[in-house]
Amino acid sequence: MFSIKADFEEKRDEAEQLINHINEVSKVAGNINTVSILKSSFIILLYNVVESTTVLVLEKVHDKASRHNYVELSDHLKKLFVEYYLFKENQKKQQITLNNIIESSVTFPIYTEFIKKVNLFSGNIDARELSKIIGRYGIGKISSKDKDKLLIVKNKRNKIAHGEMMFKECCRNMTIRELDEIKKAVFDGLSQMIIMTEYYFDQKRYLSN
């Protein structure tokens, strides 16, 4: 988890630098559009932190679980195992896979292979969705009192990404204080996920009891 935490802290520092820059630029008269664009960029940065940190955590889970076969895995990972190897496969392929499972010759897939067949998320992560994703692995749920702020990040990011609003429009009316509160909520939620994942690994909860 060291590399994940180091990456996370680097991203926190980037967010802090950007919001400080927005604050400085906002003090200069005539910079309304520039400040608005920077605010929207800040929201995009926060969403990217949510998605990239989630991916890093799941990659680590898959890396550890990929050393184990079906019978060694937790009930949560057994369900994902079955979803990857058996869902949407023809009967012949399913029978071959079942034989391989019985013989313990197949292991839990690595993340990059898993997402080719199983869609975990697609640009729509907020606190509820994040809890749903990591809950499928048995890691836990995000218990943030500021879930609405992560929802704001997701919704505004989608409006920009889908071309519904321009950068200079989307976050124009948001204050620096509001952006800072949203930043705190995002990093608090992700910190919860990282702490829960550490516990998940320490207790080997990805394996059967």
pTM of structure? 0.89
In a domain, 168, yes or no: yes
In a domain, 157, yes or no: yes
In a domain, 190, yes or no: yes
In a domain, 89, yes or no: yes
The pLDDT value given to residue 139:
96
- Residue of higher predicted confidence among 177 and 104: 177
Residue pair 7/49 in contact by the 8 Å Cβ criterion? no
- Report residue 98's pLDDT band, with 50, 70 and 90 as the boundaries: confident
- Residue of higher predicted confidence among 48 and 29: 48
Tokens of 125: 């992560």
Residue reference for tokens 């499928």: 136
As a whole number, the mean pLDDT across the chain is 89
Give the count of domains, the chain. 1
The pLDDT value given to residue 75:
93
The pLDDT value given to residue 112:
94
Each residue's pLDDT tens digit, 106-163: 889 999 999 998 888 877 888 889 999 999 999 998 887 778 899 999 999 999 988 8
- Under 8 Å CB-to-CB from 79, ≥6 apart: which residues? 136
Q: What range does the domain containing 118 cover?
A: 2-202
In a domain, 33, yes or no: yes
CA pair distance 78, 90, nearest whole angstrom? 20
Q: Range with the lowest mean pLDDT among 15-19, 49-53, 84-88, 95-99?
A: 95-99
- Residue of higher predicted confidence among 43 and 86: 43
Q: Range with the lowest mean pLDDT among 11-25, 83-97, 128-142?
A: 83-97
Q: What Rg do the C-alpha atoms of the chain give, in angstroms?
A: 20
- Report residue 41's pLDDT band, with 50, 70 and 90 as the boundaries: very high
Tokens of 33: 């559009």
- Report residue 2's pLDDT band, with 50, 70 and 90 as the boundaries: confident
Amino acid identity, position 99: N
Residue pair 154/47 in contact by the 8 Å Cβ criterion? yes
The pLDDT value given to residue 91:
65
The pLDDT value given to residue 122:
77
